[in-house]
């Protein structure tokens, strides 16, 4: 059954989870550059200072906040007393993740 809020919440959660899993090893390797000293890290940071990479960073923050909000939805659904507003919960998850990523985008461009 497609196209209802629960299905969208599931799809967003799964796709964002997979993409984050793919991103993480690269993220760790990049931070590991610190082992080779400040200069190596600054060289990497200079590489990230271009519009396309910035856009990618924003995308990853959006994925992370979406996965966080979707995960909180599942935890609430499984562990808190049952409530009817599950659609509200999915909408809230979408709203919170968008707000966080927008805050990041604003900070990014300052």
Partner 1 sequence: MTQLRVRVWRGGADGGFQPFAVPRQASQTVLDAVTYIQRVLDPTLAYRFACRVGMCGSCAMTVNGVARWTCRTHVDKVARDGRLEIAPLRSLPVVRDLVTEMRGFFDKWSRAEGVFRGARSRRDAFERVAPRSAQRLNVEAGIECIGCAVCYASCDVVAQNPEYLGPAALNRAWTLLNDVRDVAQAERLRAVAGDAGCHACHSQMGCTERCPKGIAPTASIAGLKRAAMRALLAGEL
Partner 2 sequence: MSTRGETLLWVAQRASAALLALCVVVHLATMIYAIQGGLTAAEILGRTRGNLGWLVFYSVFIAAVVVHVPIGLRPVLGEWLEWRGTSREVFLVALALVLAVLGMRAVLGVFG
Interacting residues toward partner 2 by CB under 8 A: 14, 17-18, 20-21, 24-25, 27-35, 38-39, 41-42, 45, 48-49, 61, 64-65, 68, 71-72, 74-75, 78-79, 100, 103-104, 107-108, 110
- Residues 61-80 within binding reach of partner 1 (CB under 8 A): 74, 77-79
Q: Min. distance of Cβ 109 from partner 2 in angstroms? A: 9
In 31-61, which positions are buried (b, 16+ CB within 10 angstroms) versus exposed (e)? Answer: eebeeeeeeebeeeeeeeeeeeeeeeebebb
Q: What is the CA radius of gyration of the chain?
A: 17
């Amino acid at each position: 059954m497609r196209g209802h809020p629960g299905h969208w919440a599931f799809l967003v959660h799964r796709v964002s989870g997979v993409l984050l899993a793919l991103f993480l090893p690269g993220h760790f390797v990049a931070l590991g550059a610190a082992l080779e000293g400040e200069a190596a890290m600054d060289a990497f940071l200079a590489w990230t200072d271009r519009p396309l990479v910035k856009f990618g960073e924003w995308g990853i923050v959006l994925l992370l906040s979406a996965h966080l909000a979707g995960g909180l939805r599942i935890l609430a659904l499984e562990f808190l007393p049952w409530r009817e507003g599950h659609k509200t919960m999915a909408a809230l998850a979408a709203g919170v993740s968008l707000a966080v990523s927008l805050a990041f985008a604003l900070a990014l461009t300052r």
